[in-house]
Amino acid sequence: MNANPSTSLPAIGFAVPTSRWEDAVAAGKSPPELLLYRSNQLGADLSVTNFGGGNTSAKLPGTDPLTGKPVQVLWVKGSGGDLGSMKLDGFATLYQEKLIGLEAHYGGPQDDDRMVGYLPHCTFNLNPRAASIDTPLHSLLPFAHVDHVHPDAIIALAASTGGETATREIWGGRIGWLPWKRPGYTLGVQLRDYVAANPGIEGVMLAGHGIICWADTAKDCYEHTLALIADAANHLNRQLTGRPAFGGQRQPARPDRAAVAAALLPRLRGLMSGARRKLAHFTDDPATLEFVCSADCQRLAAIGTSCPDHFLRTKIAPLTLDPARLEDEAYLAQSLQAYRAGYAAYYERCKHADSPAMRDANPVIVLVPGIGRIAFAADRTTARLASEFYGNAINVMRGAQALGGYLGLDEQEAFDIEYWLLEEAKLQRMPPPRPLVGRIALVTGGAGGIGAATAARLLSEGACVMLADRDGEPLEQVRAGFARRFGADPMRAIVCDVTDEVQVQAAFEACAREFGGLDILVANAGIASSAPLEETTLALWRRNHDVLAEGYFLTARAAFPLMKRMKEQGGTSIVFIGSKNGVAAATNASAYASAKAAANHLARCLALEGAAAGIRVNVVNPDAVIRGSRIWDGDWRRERAGAHGIDAGAELEEHYRQRSMLKRDVLPEDIAEAVYFFAGDLSSKSTGNMLNVDAGNAQAFTR
Ligand SMILES: [Zn+2]
C-alpha cells in the first residue's frame, strides 16, 4: 500500500504511476461509491490524467423508479467535470438497455451528432447530469468496468509513427490498436466490433487520442489502467535514456529570462487586438526550457498538438518568437498579425457551410527560445491549464520522437472538433463573464482594512489581483484567506514598501510576469499621524509625505508604462485612496492632511497627463473608516480620541457616526464599492474626479 505517493511529475521523462488504492478505504463502499473512489484516485495522479481528461464507467444494477423492476444502469462520468475532484453527482446515469437500443437510429458516421441528441432520452432516474459524447465508448463495450484516459505516456505511443509497433512490443497483442477516429457514436461502434473480432484483449489504444481498457471489478480496472500506463512509461523511459531529446540543444536558457518575460508579456497582451483582455501565464520549468531551447522546437511546434484535449486547450499550433527581436515592437505586432492571418486561413480552408463563425484568432501558446512558454486566455485559470496542457504536449512529442516520429492530428479533423456544432451550442449557453474578468489590478496596502476589502471586491468581479503590502505577516494571512475564497490562480502577493523605488519597481515587474500587465492600480498604502504644528518633527512631516505623496507618485509612475500598453483595449484606471482631510482642513494633522492634498492634486495632474493613453485617474475620499483599519489600531486612534476629548473605544466610533450628516458608519466595503466603480467600465468616461465616501461631511464638499 502506498498511501501518499507524490503527485508531481519528474522534471523530464515519464512518471510511472503507483497504486493509491486502499482496501481499508474501499471496504464498505457501495458500487457507485467504488466507481467514484476509483475515478478520484485516477484523477489525483497527474501521470494518469490531466485536468478534465478521461472518463470512467460501471454497469451497475438499479431499480426502475416507475416499475420497481431491476434494470442495468450505466454510471459514466458526465460532460465536463474532472476525475480527480468529481463527486457522485458528476456521473450521468442511463438505462443500459436503452443505450444499446439506440443503434436502431444509427445509419453511419454522418449520424454522430444526431446520436448525441438521443442520449438524454436514456436518462435513468431523472439525473440532470448530461452524458458526454464518450458515453457510447462505454455503453457499447460488454464489460462491467471501463476506464478511458489520456496520459502523456499513452498519447506518446498513440501519436507516434512507431506507436503501433511499440504497442505490440510492449503488450504482445494484449492491447489492440484502432486508427484515429474522433470521439462519438461511430468510434463506439468501431471499438465494439474490434473487441468482438479480437476476443481476449485487455484494452485498445486509440490512435492520436488515448487508451480504453476494462476489468470485472472496480479495483481490477483501476490497477489494470495503472499497469498499462506504467508499461508505456517504462518503455518510453528506456528509449529516452542516453539520447538528447528534440535534436539536442540549439541555445542555452537565458539567465535574465524572468526580467525578459516581465517586459515581453505586457507587450504581447497589448498587441492581442480584436478580443477581450487576456491573462497570461509564464513558465520556464526545465521541461519547457529543454524544448524551447532545442534544435527541433520550431519544426515540432509547427506540427501542432495531437490529442483532442490538448489542442482544444492550446489551439492547433503555438506562435514561436525570435528571441533576438523581442524588443522590436513592429516585429511582435507583425508576428501576431501573421499568426492571426494563418489561423483565418486555416478556418477558411476547413470550414463547412454550417460552421460557427471564426473565434479569436490570437495564439494561446507563445514559445520563446531561451526564455520559456507563455499562455494567454480570457482568465488566469484557463491560461494556466492551457499552459499545462502544452507541457503535456511537449512530453508527448518527446516520447513520440523517441519511438520514431511525432504525428500531429490531421488539420480537418482538428477543425471539426474545434468547431463542432454541439460544442458551439455549449459555448453560447455560457453565462456572460463577470465585469472585471481579464483585468489585472495591483492594490498597495493590500493587507489593511480598505486594501483587503477592495481586493476582495475586485476579485469577486473577476479581476486578478497583486496584493502589495509592507508587512509580510498580515499580507500572508490575507493572501491565504483569499486563496481559499477565490482560488490560487487569480491572486499573488508581494512585500513592497511604497517609499522604496526598487521594491515598487519589483512589485510591478512581478505583476507583469505573473499576470501579463496591469489595468487597475489602487494606491492605498497609507499612514496617519496627529500632532500640533509646533510638535510636528521634520521626521514626522517627511514620513507622511514619503508614504502618502511620494508613495503614490512612485506607484503611479511604475504603472504608467504598463497601462499605456492597454490603450487600444479600452484603457486603464488608477484610483487613489485619498481622505476627507485632503479636502477639508484638519486640526493637529497638518503633515497628514497636506500630504493627502498633495496626492489629490497629483491625481489631477496624472489624469491630464494619462488621458491621451487612455489612463483614467480618480480619487476616493473616505472618512473615519475605523473598522478593520490598521491605521486606526495604533496611536492615531488614541490621538484622535484625545483631540476630541473622548475615549478611544466605542465612544470614538459613535463620535464619528454622529459627526456625519447621514449618521452612519463608513466601512471598508463602502470604500471598496467606490473603488470598483472607478476601476471598471461603469466610470469609463470619468477622470480627474473625486468621490467622497464619508456618510456626508459638509466640510469636504468639493467646490
Ligand atoms: Zn478521450
Can you give 549-581 as a three-state secondary structure string?
HHHHHHHHHHHHHHHHCCHHHCCEEEEEECCHH
Give the distance (Å) from ligand 1 centre to CA of residue 213: 12
204: phi then psi, degrees, rounded to nearest 5: -135, 130
d(CA 229, CA 46): 12
Per-position b or e across 465-494, b if 16+ CB within 10 A of its CB: bbbbbbeeeebeebbeebeeebeebbbbbb
Give the distance (Å) from ligand 1 centre to CA of residue 224: 17
The grid coordinates listed for 621 are 475620499
Give the distance (Å) from ligand 1 centre to CA of residue 150: 6
Give the distance (Å) from ligand 1 centre to CA of residue 281: 26
Give the distance (Å) from ligand 1 centre to CA of residue 134: 7
Give the distance (Å) from ligand 1 centre to CA of residue 55: 7
Give the distance (Å) from ligand 1 centre to CA of residue 214: 15
Give the distance (Å) from ligand 1 centre to CA of residue 569: 37
Give the distance (Å) from ligand 1 centre to CA of residue 682: 43
Residue (of 208, 211, 210, 182) closest to 408 by Cα position: 208
Strand duo 372-377 + 91-95: pairing = unpaired
> For position 275, what pLDDT does the model report?
62
d(CA 515, CA 381): 11
Question: Helices marked H in 293-379 — which ranges?
Answer: 297-303, 308-314, 329-350
604: phi then psi, degrees, rounded to nearest 5: -65, -40
Query: How many Å separate Cα 358 from the centre of its chain?
Result: 23
Mean pLDDT by 10 residues, the chain (703 residues): 37 86 95 97 88 91 96 94 93 97 94 93 95 94 96 95 97 96 94 97 96 97 97 94 88 95 97 84 95 95 85 90 96 96 96 93 96 96 94 94 92 90 75 93 96 97 97 96 95 97 98 98 92 95 96 98 95 96 91 96 98 98 80 74 78 84 93 98 96 93 82
Task: List, as one string, the DSSP characters of 250-313.
Answer: SSPPPTTHHHHHHHHHHHHHHH--SSS--EEEEE--HHHHHHHTBTTHHHHHHH---SHHHHHH
Residues with a catalytic annotation lie at 592
- The one-letter amino acid at 35: L
d(CA 159, CA 155): 6
> For position 429, what pLDDT does the model report?
76
> For position 135, what pLDDT does the model report?
96
The grid coordinates listed for 429 are 449557453
> For position 81, what pLDDT does the model report?
83
Residue (of 314, 292, 313, 316) closest to 302 by Cα position: 316
The answer to whether the CB of 43 falls within 8 A of the CB of 49 is: yes
The answer to whether the CB of 181 falls within 8 A of the CB of 409 is: no
> For position 316, what pLDDT does the model report?
86
Place of cell 512558454: 373
Give the distance (Å) from ligand 1 centre to CA of residue 121: 23
d(CA 59, CA 35): 10
d(CA 239, CA 134): 32
d(CA 221, CA 56): 10
Give the distance (Å) from ligand 1 centre to CA of residue 345: 28
Give the distance (Å) from ligand 1 centre to CA of residue 186: 14
Give the distance (Å) from ligand 1 centre to CA of residue 137: 10
d(CA 49, CA 326): 35
> For position 11, what pLDDT does the model report?
52
The whole model's pTM is what?
0.91
The answer to whether the CB of 526 falls within 8 A of the CB of 545 is: no
